[in-house]
Homo-oligomer: A and B are copies of this chain.
């Protein structure tokens, strides 16, 4: 896919990846609806394979490869959910996955990737170290690099979450997804606008890493000075492709305080009885912080994932 995924591209991607993903449930909660005075529909990607929406994008990238490329395997550098998704996708297709992980990656994450049978390459901790090691690995293996978000196949894959949500609940007024690299938000925006151009699409972002908010306002990709948000999935900045989609199709980006993220996460755990990671609670945090935008509306929120270290909970 060399250009922005069309409606048909997303539909085709959805059919192609169906054997490799779960159609995740949509949950509602009366107490949280009463509290927010809105009707919220939570698309539960925490129940997705590998515990996050990343499985959609990784599957999409793999099914798009021709047999010759598949044969040479796939690769990425990541210490998060994307690495697990690439590893599991490779396993499901019977091909090799080469994952570069920094020395300081938690052993729990290394183990998860190893369990899926991927080959792990250890690099230094800086982004530069990871990229250098990645280059070496790509040269020696001939594997295809799967970028975590700046890739139209990935965007088309992530778009299938909002597509399913709108199939189940076609008359939503607003859709909202968290924004880190922008793959999920880009896909959400495309699926929403293809469904109904009047649906509002918001990105939800921690104030501490508000590069997407600033990029959206300034018209160029901005970076973060600090990345110490609790929402560990959202510490990255936008790519050119995701920035383009977000600029064009997203209505606004809402930023939230760290305390709101923890409060929203706690509400979801206590009231909905599901495990969500901090990044997955950021959209609800945005509803809590900006109630006037949502009052009386039907709002779809993408819960991006549920991978948390139970030993390091913020409450």
Which residues of B have CB within 8 Å of A313? 310, 313
With A273-B275, A274-B274, A275-B275 known, 7 other A-B pairs at CB within 8 A are A46-B273, A51-B273, A270-B275, A273-B274, A273-B276, A274-B275, A310-B315
Alpha-carbon separation in the docked complex, A273 to B272 (Å): 11
Q: Which residue of B lies closest to A270 (CB)?
A: B310
Q: Footprint of B on A, CB under 8 Å?
A: 25, 46-47, 51, 266, 269-270, 273-276, 306, 310-311, 313, 315
- 7 A–B contacts from the bound complex (CB under 8 Å): A46-B273, A51-B273, A270-B275, A273-B306, A274-B274, A274-B275, A275-B275
With contacts A310-B313, A313-B313 taken as known, whether A269 is within 8 angstroms of B273 at the C-beta atoms is: no
Closest 8 CB pairs of A and B: A273-B306, A273-B275, A46-B273, A310-B315, A269-B275, A274-B274, A47-B273, A273-B274
- Contact partner of A315 (CB less than 8 A), chosen from B25, B269, B276, B311, is B311
Alpha-carbon separation in the docked complex, A193 to B6 (Å): 54
Min C-beta distance of A26 to chain B, whole Å: 12
Alpha-carbon separation in the docked complex, A275 to B310 (Å): 11
Which residues of B have CB within 8 Å of A306? 273
Best-surrounded residue of A25, A47, A273 (most CB of chain B within 10 A): A273
Alpha-carbon separation in the docked complex, A33 to B266 (Å): 29
Q: Which residue of B lies closest to A268 (CB)?
A: B275
Min C-beta distance of A1 to chain B, whole Å: 30
Which residues of B have CB within 8 Å of A275? 269-270, 273-275
Pair A269/B47 contact, Cβ less than 8 Å: no
Which residues of B have CB within 8 Å of A310? 266, 269-270, 313, 315
Which residues of B have CB within 8 Å of A266? 310
Best-surrounded residue of A51, A269, A275, A315 (most CB of chain B within 10 A): A275
Min C-beta distance of A275 to chain B, whole Å: 4
Alpha-carbon separation in the docked complex, A34 to B273 (Å): 24
Q: Which residue of B lies closest to A276 (CB)?
A: B273
Q: Which residue of B lies closest to A314 (CB)?
A: B310
Alpha-carbon separation in the docked complex, A313 to B315 (Å): 10
